[in-house]
C-alpha cells in the first residue's frame, strides 16, 4: 500500500477538488487533465481504504471520513507552504554564521569595523572573526572566507580581488638617525631587520627583475604583524609591512619609508573561499560589501 508520503500530489488534488467544487474545476486550477485529477483521488482513496467523496453527475459531498481527513490535509499543506517560504527566505536572505580569517593587524584595523557595520545592516548574521598571520586551510578549518595578501597559490579556492596593496620597508625616524638609512637593497643585510614568520633568515623580494631578492637576518622574529609594526615604531629595526597597516603611521611621520625608489613585490588584497556551486548569500553579500568599503578607504 502506498503511504501518504508518496501521495503528496494526491493530497493536493483532493484539497483542490474540495475547494474548487468539482474534478473539472480542480483540473483547470492545477493545469492538468481531468483524468489525472480523478486518478489521483482514486489512488488516495485506495491507499486509505475509504471513500472521501460521494460523487454524482451533479454534485459532490465529503463523507464523514473525508471531512475529517480534509481538515488534516489542509493543515499539512499549510505546514508545507510555510516550510517552503522559510527555505526561500533562508536561501535569498543574508543570515547564519559567517566565519572569516584574516591577517591580525589588517583584521583589527580594517576588517573588524567593516564587519561591525555589515552586521548592523544584516543583524541575522553572526560573524566569527579569526585573526592570525598564518595562512589557514579553509577546507580543513571550515572557514567560509579568508582575506589574504598576494597571489592565490591554492587552486581549490576562488579568489576575488578586493583592493590594491603594496608592501613597504619602513622604520622609525629614531632608528634611521641612529643607524643610518640604507641606500641600496644590498645594504639591508647590515641593518637590524624585523621579520614576520618563523625563519630567522629570509628573502625580501623587490618588484621587477633588475633587483635580486635580499637575504636578511632577523634582529627580531615574530609571528604577529602588529607586533612587527610596534617594534618598528619603537625604533627596533626595519620592517616589511603592508601599506594598509602602516599608511597612517607614514603619513603622520611616526614611520619613514626605507628605499622608497625600490618597490617591493605587489600583494593585492583578495577574498578567498572554497569552490561552491551555490555560494551562501552571507558570503557573497559580505565580499561585495567588503570590496566596496575597502575601495572607499584606499588612499595610498
Residue 236's pLDDT is what?
97
Q: What architecture (CATH level 2) is domain 96-162+269-297?
A: 3-Layer(aba) Sandwich (3.40)
Domain boundaries, the chain: 4-92, 96-162+269-297, 167-258
Cβ-proximal residues to 270 (8 Å cutoff; 6+ apart), any chain: 147, 148, 149, 150, 152, 159, 160, 161, 162
Residue 155's pLDDT is what?
67
Residue 85's pLDDT is what?
66
Instruction: Give me the tens of pLDDT residue by residue for the chain, a chain 300 residues long.
Output: 456 556 789 999 999 998 888 888 889 989 999 999 999 999 999 989 999 998 776 778 899 999 999 988 988 888 888 777 666 655 657 889 999 999 999 999 999 999 999 999 999 999 999 998 888 888 788 899 999 998 776 667 888 999 999 999 999 999 999 999 999 999 999 999 999 988 889 999 888 756 688 899 999 999 999 999 999 999 999 999 999 999 999 999 999 999 999 988 888 999 999 877 678 889 999 999 999 999 999 998
Is-contact 55 24, C-beta < 8 A?
no
pTM for this prediction = 0.67
Residue 22's pLDDT is what?
87
Choices 3.30.70.100, 1.10.1040.10, 3.40.190.10, 3.30.870.10: CATH for 167-258: 3.40.190.10
Residue 142's pLDDT is what?
85
* CATH 1.10.10.10 is the classification of domain 4-92: yes
Helix residue spans in 151-280 (DSSP H): 173-179, 225-233, 243-252
Give long-range contacts, CB 8 A cutoff, 24+ apart: 44-53. 44/7, 44/10, 44/11, 44/13, 44/14, 47/1, 47/2, 47/3, 47/4, 47/7, 47/10, 52/14, 53/17, 53/18
Is-contact 111 49, C-beta < 8 A?
no
Shared fold status for 4-92 and 167-258: no
Amino acid at each position: 500500500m502506498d503511504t501518504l508520503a508518496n501521495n503528496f500530489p494526491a493530497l493536493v488534488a483532493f484539497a483542490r477538488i474540495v475547494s474548487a467544487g468539482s474534478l473539472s474545476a480542480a483540473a483547470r486550477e492545477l493545469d492538468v487533465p481531468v483524468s489525472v485529477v480523478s486518478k489521483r483521488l482514486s489512488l488516495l482513496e485506495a491507499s486509505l481504504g475509504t471513500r472521501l467523496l460521494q460523487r454524482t453527475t451533479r454534485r459532490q459531498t465529503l463523507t464523514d471520513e473525508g471531512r475529517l481527513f480534509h481538515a488534516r490535509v489542509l493543515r499539512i499543506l499549510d505546514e508545507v507552504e510555510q516550510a517552503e517560504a522559510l527555505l526561500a527566505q533562508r536561501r535569498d536572505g543574508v543570515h547564519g554564521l559567517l566565519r572569516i580569517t584574516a591577517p591580525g593587524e589588517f583584521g583589527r584595523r580594517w576588517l573588524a569595523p567593516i564587519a561591525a557595520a555589515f552586521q548592523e545592516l544584516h543583524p541575522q548574521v553572526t560573524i566569527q572573526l579569526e585573526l592570525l598571520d598564518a595562512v589557514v586551510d579553509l577546507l580543513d578549518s571550515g572557514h567560509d572566507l579568508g582575506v589574504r595578501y598576494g597571489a592565490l597559490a591554492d587552486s581549490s579556492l576562488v579568489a576575488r580581488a578586493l583592493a590594491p596593496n603594496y608592501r613597504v620597508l619602513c622604520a622609525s625616524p629614531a632608528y634611521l638617525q641612529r643607524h643610518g638609512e640604507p641606500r641600496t637593497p644590498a645594504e639591508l643585510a647590515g641593518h637590524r631587520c624585523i621579520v614576520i614568520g618563523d625563519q630567522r633568515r629570509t628573502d625580501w623580494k623587490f618588484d621587477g627583475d633588475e633587483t635580486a631578492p635580499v637575504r636578511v637576518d632577523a634582529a627580531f622574529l615574530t609571528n604577529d604583524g602588529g607586533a612587527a609594526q610596534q617594534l618598528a615604531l619603537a625604533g627596533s629595526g626595519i620592517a616589511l609591512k603592508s601599506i594598509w597597516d602602516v599608511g597612517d603611521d607614514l603619513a603622520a611621520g611616526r614611520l619613514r619609508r626605507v628605499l622608497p625608489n625600490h618597490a617591493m613585490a605587489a600583494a593585492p588584497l583578495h577574498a578567498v573561499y572554497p569552490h561552491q556551486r551555490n555560494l551562501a548569500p552571507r558570503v557573497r553579500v559580505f565580499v561585495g560589501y567588503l570590496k566596496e568599503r575597502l575601495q572607499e578607504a584606499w588612499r595610498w
